[in-house]
Structure 1
Amino acid sequence: MISAYFARNLGDDLFLKILFDRYPHIQWELLTANRNYNDIFKSYRNVKIIYSYRDVKIGKSRFNLFYKISELINGFRKYDALVIIGGSIFMQSPAWKMKWEERKYLLDRFKRMNKKTFILGANFGPFTDNVFLERYTELFSEFDDVCFRDQHSYRFFKDLKNVRVAPDVVFNLDTGFPETKEKNVGFSIIDIKEREGLKESYNRYNDKMEQIIRRYAEQGYNIKLFSFCENEGDLRVANQLSRKLKDVHNGNNIQVVNYEGKIKEFLEVFHSCQIIIGARFHSIILAVIYDQSVFPIIYNEKTLNALKDLSMEQNSIHLKEIHNMDVIDIVQIAADNRNQDRHVFNEASRQFEKLDTILR
């Protein structure tokens, strides 16, 4: 059974693709009501969607139909293991206690039958109080294996013997494209209009993106505006920027590229870029994978923590500060800012170290 972030977000879908490719002989069942995943992984005969994962309200109580039906019919006996895989899946939100209880419920059912339980690829936080940390310390201690993706998250739980750390799961991606680059520059765009702590920078961020795009267009680059997650507003902001830039060569060299579940097609366009101006976490990871020059824009501490692990934090800037940086400086830094330490790819395979022992 797979529990993940099923929102047609490229980064999280890459986690799943890498998992399914690594273990093609294993039958995976996805705990989601999002029917888009039927199309996204339709070519994988070993992947099945569980449709009944929805909450229903009866009186003042809420019930998860999938949990109740599975418990009544087979008590989850059909599964050999539970895998929770994702990136920012342990952030403290107003509803964190309900999410904690769901995870605890699944964990208890699997442990009761001596089934294996895994957490892969995550970072921990941000969080604001010690109760959150204490509850998750208790939860993590009961899993067979927990592998974080950055040192910062690992340090909170390093005293737990079942907790490890390895680079992001996506570093295990098979590149699969010829090593040719066109005169393209890619922009990973995010929507911060409703994000606490960032929304005050909304106009300044968008204005600066427009200025940088115009600079690259003047230098003869084709512009690719990447929307990694339409559900979180990336496409809306990318389209908004595209409309503002219609005067640049009549908009002919500006393309909005929206991730709609077609992973290969999206990555093909991304790979064609020489330079990435990246806000989305996995735009930076992909730039390292494809050996592209990259200028990281930090909107969340997970990005800063990953850049520190890669020794790339110097040539980056926080989103809230980008309006203070000169466009010429950004373009100069981005021109040749690459990750030179390639051992990260070998290290990333350790995300699956424990899972390999039972599935390979």
Structure 2
Amino acid sequence: MKCFAYPVFYFEKVWNGPITSGRDEEMKRLMINAYTKLNLGDDLFVKLLCERYPDTNFVLPAMGEYRTCLGSLPNLTIYPIESVWVRGARKLLKSFKSIEVQKLLLQRLARRCDGVVQIGGSVFMQGKNWVRDYNWKQEIFDSNKPYFVMGANFGPYKDEVFYEKHRELFSGYTDICFRDEYSYELFRDLGNVRLAPDIVFQHPKPDTAGGESVVISVIKPSERENLKALDTVYYEKIRDIAVAFILEGYDVSLMSFCEYEGDEEAVRSIYAMIPETFHSRTEMFFYRTNLEDAITLLASSGMIVATRFHAMILGWVFGKPVFPIAYSEKTINVMKDANFEGAYADLKSIASLDPDTVVRSQETNRLNVSVLAAQAEKHFLELDKYLGRSQDAAGVASAMSPGILARRGHES
């Protein structure tokens, strides 16, 4: 026992510090379960959540870089899971696997919070480690405390076991609000499942005029199992689209939303393919922790070519013409739910896309999202009740029917 005593003392020291950022101890304290790989869309989710509830303390286990990205939020405490203290605890508890130490740390943090908000988009995909991730949720989070899920879609998944296990898991949650009708229909009979448009539709529209520039958000297709062989054809097509806009007199920004998922590598590869004579009209933008700079770039553009899902959403919110390049069913599903009738491309068949089609779409590919923005507030309905915050009754009423999303829809 003595040989284990010091590591336990050290472990206690790691996670026994203050987690209220000097805020009132009587305020509710909620742990945020989010995708923390510096992905622009997921980071916006966290920002919008914290800004909505300034009188709630939120705790986010994440990389230390999040202190730069979201450190200005006064009601958010970042618990860096790769801090010196945590690395030290892992060394001292070397008889445990690193992943088990992290689980212990997260269990302790969850116990010190009043509940959990899981906020994110594609957070229920069937990956190779889905059984481990599923067991983690059951072992880390206290089933006697409230657990809210918002902003998510379900899948893609390959077998019924994955689906049935999540039905079992979801049945014990306080509230689940999906962002697409497909996911909602899979679980609507559980009774605690609702539907609302993507949370980022709640993002305010900056007071920024559109410029003579085009933002092209890109991905590295081979990071996704079903797009392994498409890097070259996709990069070449994005190059052709960029050149087509430059020849029309536009400047082009190639934009990375997430370094971890290969976006930056994609940007550099595409930039290298563009003829040097056009490099003076081409910019590379890398989102890392510069959240406001990324929003400004999108808001000040004249058009957005969106492979990234939230480049599409933000483009619509900011009143821009958007040409979506769909790399997954979630994009197709949300376009259908939003009644978007503009031109778009499926990444799997992008070889046949004519760049002139993309250029011409700036005249037709806007979407009125005022109704979607009001409906998106429904994600927060049950959390509002739990935290004692009242929603605008008329706004919520307009969002209550799951089958009616954005009746005003497409603008020509």
SS at match of 1:159: helix
The aligned runs of 1:119-198 (5 Å cut-off) are 119-175=149-205, 177-198=206-227
User: What is residue 293 of structure 1 aligned with on the other side?
Assistant: 321
Among 112, 115, 121, the alignment partner of 1:81 is 115
**Partners in 2 of 1:319 and 1:76 — Cα distance?**
40
Partner of 1:323: 351
Q: Quick check: 1:100 aligned with 2:130?
A: no
Matches within 5 A, 1:189-208: 189-208=218-237
Following superposition of structure 1 onto structure 2, how do residues 238-277 of structure 1 map, counting pairs within 5 Å? 238-249=267-278, 251-277=279-305
Letter in 1 for 2:339: S
Report the 3-state secondary structure (helix = DSSP H, G, I; strand = E; otherwise coil) of the residue aligned with 1:124: coil
Q: Distance in 1 between matches of 2:191 and 2:341?
A: 30
When normalised by structure 2's length, the TM-score is: 0.81
Shift, 1:51, TM fit:
3.3
- Asked whether the 8 Å contact 2:342–2:361 carries over to 1, the reply is no
Determine the C-alpha separation between the residues in 2 that align with 1:338 and 1:5: 29
Aligned 8 A contact 1:275 1:293 in 2: yes
By how many angstroms is 1:341 displaced? 4.8
Deviation at 1:342?
A: 2.5
| Amino acid paired to 2:186 | F
Structure 1 portions without partners, runs of 5+: none
Residues 341 and 259 (structure 1), Cα distance of their counterparts in 2 relative to 1, 3 Å cut: closer
One-letter amino acid of the structure 2 residue matched with residue 93 of structure 1 = G
- Whether the 8 Å contact between 1:304 and 1:313 is mirrored in structure 2 is no
Q: Which residue of 1 aligns with 2:378?
A: 350
Query: Between Structure 1 and Structure 2, how many residues are aligned?
Result: 351
CA positional deviation for 1:265: 1.2
Contact 2:236–2:273 (Cα < 8 Å) also in 1: no
Task: Give unmatched runs, 5+ long, in structure 2.
Answer: 1-30, 390-412
| Superposed CA offset, 1:97-133 (max 9, x none) | 00001112234x2x33xx2210111000000000000
Q: 1:334 to 1:85 in 2, by over 3 A?
A: same
Give, in angstroms, the shift of residue 340 of structure 1. Answer: 2.9
SS at match of 2:138: helix
Query: How far 1:167 sits from its partner (Å)?
Result: 0.6
The share of aligned pairs that are identical, in percent, is 34
Which amino acid in 1 is paired with 2:277?
Answer: V
1:150–1:166 CA contact under 8 A, matched in 2: yes
Task: Output the aligned Cα RMSD.
Answer: 2.1
Q: Per-residue deviation at 1:330?
A: 2.4
Q: How far apart are 1:59 and its partner, in Å?
A: 6.1
Change (3 A) 1:221 1:94: same
Mapped partners of 2:312, 2:109: distance in 1 = 41
Q: Which amino acid aligns with 1:233?
A: G
Aligned match of 1:337 in 365, 374, 379? 365
* 1:29 paired to 2:63: no
